Structure 1
């Protein structure tokens, strides 16, 4: 009974204390709410916002956002650049096509004027003869397989063609890589053996496998000259099929698109072995014979030969006749193909011989350059430091592969010292 009384006395006091604690807690809560209307979360958010406003953290987040925006803009510009490059490539093809059509139109107009009924001669300077011959009618029955291949490769019915065997594999690779680098797709390698055909296929290079037999008369002229002799025979089929060809040896480096620099106003356009204006384009050379007295001086016309390693030939009757003449002579004579090519192209009609009636043009020797011009003259001229030719033919020097690599290093990779250690000529 005593314990119960003691507990009973403590019970009400305990309840009162709990009540007091609840009331005090409520009062404190109201007071806290008055002081902190946003509560603890508001304080946390405020502190977080304050942290976000700290200089370092703010700079990092702003920088991340700027980088993301910049990357997005770069990606957009790259897509736009790719689109513009494709459109530019199309426009270049259209421009070349328009140029070719304009040249053909002008030639057709001249032919029409020549075939029209004769009339009175116009004023001085207005009389012009026909220079561009009419193209032959294509005959696909000559080689249906080649005709089908050329339809896929050629652009505007023209292409670059080179004839090669496995002996010049390394030079051939520099050759087709330089063509690919300048954006030309209409080119073809005529492979004379299986090895070079496989090599071209491995590098996605358009190739046409063709067996060809070197004539007995050319057997002792060396492999390079023997192949050069074959090209006139092989080239004939391209012309008969109606295609214009830029025939190229493999010791040539392409630095610009050559189709942008052709005139197409003659049967044959060729690079020259000349090294200045007079040797490349012709000059009056005076010969002296003192025994003739008063008439001791005789005037001659001279021109350095056309280089048969790079020439553009149109599918015309005179062009095909030229190839037939050269092929016929090389099958019988032990002669240099380039000499025969020039003799048939330039020799006039005379007793016992009827000359070829073909129009011809010398290409700009600074654009379609030979290696004498480059190594003996151009590389030493400060004014030509930034100059870039269309093609460079390493025809004057025997160390062809080394000089081709140096040309690529100089003009493509920007190594200004690449050409300096070579001698002017072929001496070691």
Structure 2
């Protein structure tokens, strides 16, 4: 300890000397690195900016017409970008709405399936309608899976089956789809003619892999034959996890149908009914006088769902429905719409297990059939003001002529375009 104290006393200014040396070294280093000083670069950049701004002012005064043209161009570009942003905002808003709807359905599903629960107070108990979606399986059809990734929006797509027999109606439908701005629209081309037509008109299409038994029907079959084929084709779309809005070709679009779906059921279909009772159901009393006191029997009636326009969620009941209809049609000459409704509505009974699928009927004035249009709507001044989502010319054989007239009425504003047609097909 004594030795250390003696050494520090011998060199009392050593620390000060070291500090001075360090300062000198730092000064030398700064002189080498910054020969013009610390603030010269900043001042020069300021002078450069000032000179540039001065030159800009001079150029504006000298070249004002060119500058104005540039500003107009910039404004147009900004306006276009704003329009794109507004479109993106609308799409995001719709996605949020669908996500909230899906999360609420999932929450209810978990509540019902996840654990046993007690029934709540009177008036608070609600049964579950929304089945869980299937796990997508891309191995079913990798080529279709890649196509749907490009075409579908929010995992949903409109699907239309068409061959050359319905080409003119398909042209009218595609024009209506483009007019509305629907992007997720896909034509299943059943022959080369439709494939080439879609290519030339820049319409998304899907040509199935060769299947002799099925493709013969698709290429040569009439409307009913093609209508039966669709139940086989749609299965792969559901297996891939996509919601499908099936549309026949004799349908015109006036609004985006995806904005008018509820998505709370396995099957959501338009009706063949033409008023509130026939479309949504009614209590029909059957009278049998020979029964005396029990002569009146109450029956529940509803007009059939239309198998030419319906939405399927990708659930097991939806796939089960397609399988049942396709199997029945392969074994008989039955009408596909009749089989479609029998499978949906016939309950389980001895020897038969019914399909447990939830169902919803679409609004009959938004998703309008041609009987409703020609028998009721065109004769009512208030109903004529309504703008439908789609119109299906399902009740009449002169489909093309009536489709053209419908376009004249709803698109071109020709108020008498529908007047020359009879209510029915006489």
What is the TM-score normalised by the length of structure 1? Answer: 0.79
Superposition deviation, residue 122 in structure 1: 0.8
Report what 2:292 is aligned to. 293
Q: How far apart, in 2, do the equivalents of 1:273 and 1:71 lie? A: 58
Cα shift readout 1:285-334 (whole Å, capped 9, x = no counterpart): 00000000000000000000000000000110000000000000000010
What is the TM-score normalised by the length of structure 2? Answer: 0.80
Superposition deviation, residue 101 in structure 1: 1.1
Question: 1:208/1:122 Cα in 2 relative to 1: closer, same or farther (>3 Å)?
Answer: same
Superposition deviation, residue 120 in structure 1: 2.7
Question: 1:245/1:299 Cα in 2 relative to 1: closer, same or farther (>3 Å)?
Answer: same
Superposition deviation, residue 118 in structure 1: 2.2
Superposition deviation, residue 115 in structure 1: 1.9
Q: How far apart, in 1, do the equivalents of 2:69 and 2:376 lie? A: 48
Question: 1:81/1:170 Cα in 2 relative to 1: closer, same or farther (>3 Å)?
Answer: farther
Report what 2:177 is aligned to. 179
Moved more, 267-276 or 407-416: 407-416
Moved more, 359-368 or 93-102: 93-102
Verify the 8 A CA contact 1:368 1:391 in the aligned structure 2: yes
Report what 1:98 is aligned to. 96
Moved more, 273-282 or 115-124: 115-124
Structure 2 unaligned spans of 5+: 1-67
Structure 1 unaligned spans of 5+: 1-69
Superposition deviation, residue 132 in structure 1: 0.5
Verify the 8 A CA contact 1:96 1:259 in the aligned structure 2: no
Question: 1:423/1:80 Cα in 2 relative to 1: closer, same or farther (>3 Å)?
Answer: farther
Superposition deviation, residue 222 in structure 1: 6.2
Question: 1:355/1:213 Cα in 2 relative to 1: closer, same or farther (>3 Å)?
Answer: farther
Please show how residues 163-202 of structure 1 align to structure 2 within 5 Å: 163-202=161-200
2:391 is equivalent to residue 411 of structure 1: no
Between the two proteins, the alignment pairs up a number of residues equal to 358
Superposition deviation, residue 76 in structure 1: 8.1
Superposition deviation, residue 155 in structure 1: 0.5
Q: How far apart, in 2, do the equivalents of 1:157 and 1:168 lie? A: 28
> Once superposed, what is the RMSD of the aligned Cα atoms?
2.4
SS of corresponding position for 2:382: helix
Report what 2:51 is aligned to. none
Report what 1:424 is aligned to. 423
SS of corresponding position for 1:231: helix
Deviating 4+ runs (over 4 angstroms): 70-81, 211-216
Superposition deviation, residue 82 in structure 1: 3.7
Q: How far apart, in 1, do the equivalents of 2:378 and 2:332 lie? A: 39
Q: How far apart, in 1, do the equivalents of 2:72 and 2:404 lie? A: 35
Q: How far apart, in 2, do the equivalents of 1:92 and 1:212 lie? A: 41
Superposition deviation, residue 175 in structure 1: 0.9
Q: How far apart, in 2, do the equivalents of 1:295 and 1:229 lie? A: 42
